[in-house]
Chains A and B, each alone.
Chain A
């Protein structure tokens, strides 16, 4: 069994490594100081287990995990108690609060092994929660990680199982639902004007009547998007027209 330790504090990684010495069947394939290295190491080593800190440079542990296609078992290690609920939403095997004892660590390993024997899916991609309170979306582009602050999003478009995030730097794909972003993007700045579109209200230049009951919306970027009847009602409410 291989494991990867991802934590930005060297001593914290050392601690996990030390506790792992009692498990000869588990070998540490890599140690990483941030989510970027972590993602690379996961793709390279394809580990069975990762120990993951949450607050790390540039992107959080949650955000990194979102970018892993088939995540292995995850044990979160963090001093942040307030993330615990989110971690279990992310179907973490366990959640260790720093500093943790050897006994608590052993329990987490046992729990993880039990889950793995039962073949229970440890992480389900759809159940993963973004660290959305960061006001940004993290995407992967050609194996590279890109951080998109909300303000840079022009509009979000539905595309089967994915959504397309349109920005000035290009279009990015993400495996999420429209509903998710409708619920999580700030409601004053982003409106779902159509089944397939959520737009940034800062970029609206014009709204034209298209046909009976439907409107066309013009963004500053020159893009025209359809507005449904329900979408138009929402637009009027938020824009106060």
Chain B
């Protein structure tokens, strides 16, 4: 029995061929048997043709039906019931048709009524086998599709994780910092050692923190300061920072690693968008029981082009805030000709 795989033309052709051959074989066999019990050749052929064609049609019906609907748990019971019912139905039609056709052939009618049992057994076997085969085949196909889908999902999840990790490690920051350390080792080894220490602390902080984790602003600030210290070694006097906060803000909570990307962004735009020395302002205050953070960096309106089109690399922060609080208004940007200001508000949940 050929496999029925509708999506492939070649296998479809092979299926049709095998299917026809299969029924031809049973048709010829039936003619021979009928002739052996004394039925004349023409009648035997008509009988055989009618029953075999009808049976083949029933089988095709089942194969196609199963293609769209696969029985679930009790599939074997389903196969049994459908085979029993369909073969009974088939036998009924065959008998009706042939009786109508050969009303006056007494010998033949006798053979027909006597062979009911064996015909039923034959029909049941055929339909049962085909149903069973297509059930197995379709189940296997479904399994393969499921496996593939699962594989795809796994791969996507892995890619996403890898991207996140890459993002966290910030390769450019890392390699440039290493380059600075390499430069320092020759002339100022003490400073180099210090910077290695800072870099190690920073990386440890990155790896340790879970995005879901809530930490105090104080803790996030220490981490941001570490980052700023390293950047200051890299860029020298060009980079200045001013950090202001009210004491109440220090104990406020915020999602881990939410401030750092904003500061990173501010440095990137400040340093790469102007030629002068750059001062980054960071301010934290409490308003209405919420933590409000402001990051300000210089920029040049005339040449600043949002690199991704989503707006100065802030879209991922916006997305994160939305996922956490279900609000899009927690991140606001303001800009004039020379300053770019990012403000985020963190509601304090219990």
A interface residue numbers (CB < 8 A to B): 8-12, 14-15, 18, 33-34, 36, 55-58, 79-80, 97-99, 134-136, 147, 149-150
Decide: A15 and B179 in contact? CB cutoff 8 A: yes
Q: Which of B248-256, B266-274, B281-289, B329-337 contacts A (4 or more CB under 8 A)?
A: B266-274
Q: Which residues of B contact A134 (CB under 8 A)?
A: 305, 307
Which B residues from 159 to 181 make CB contacts under 8 A with A?
171-172, 175-176, 178-181
Q: Which residue of the partner chain, among B175, B238, B275, B302, contacts A98 with CB atoms under 8 Å?
A: B175
Closest to A151 in B: B305
Residue B114 lies at the interface, judged by CB distance under 8 Å to chain A:
no
Decide: A11 and B183 in contact? CB cutoff 8 A: yes
Q: Which residue of the partner chain, among B175, B184, B234, B271, contacts A57 with CB atoms under 8 Å?
A: B271
Closest to A134 in B: B305
Residue B66 lies at the interface, judged by CB distance under 8 Å to chain A:
no
Which B residues from 182 to 215 make CB contacts under 8 A with A?
182-184, 186-187
Q: Which residues of A contact B179 (CB under 8 A)?
A: 9, 11-12, 15, 79, 98-99
Q: List 30 A-B contacts (CB under 8 A).
A: A8-B235, A11-B179, A11-B180, A11-B183, A11-B184, A11-B233, A12-B179, A12-B183, A14-B183, A15-B182, A15-B183, A55-B172, A55-B272, A58-B273, A79-B172, A79-B175, A79-B176, A98-B175, A98-B176, A98-B179, A99-B179, A134-B307, A135-B305, A136-B303, A136-B305, A147-B302, A147-B303, A149-B303, A149-B305, A150-B305
Decide: B272 and A58 in contact? CB cutoff 8 A: yes
Residue B236 lies at the interface, judged by CB distance under 8 Å to chain A:
yes
Task: Determine the distance from Cα of A128 to Cα of B349 in the docked complex, in whole angstroms.
Answer: 55
Task: Determine the distance from Cα of A210 to Cα of B303 in the docked complex, in whole angstroms.
Answer: 38
Task: Determine the distance from Cα of A12 to Cα of B178 in the docked complex, in whole angstroms.
Answer: 10
Decide: B275 and A36 in contact? CB cutoff 8 A: yes
Q: Which residues of B contact A11 (CB under 8 A)?
A: 179-180, 183-184, 233-234, 236
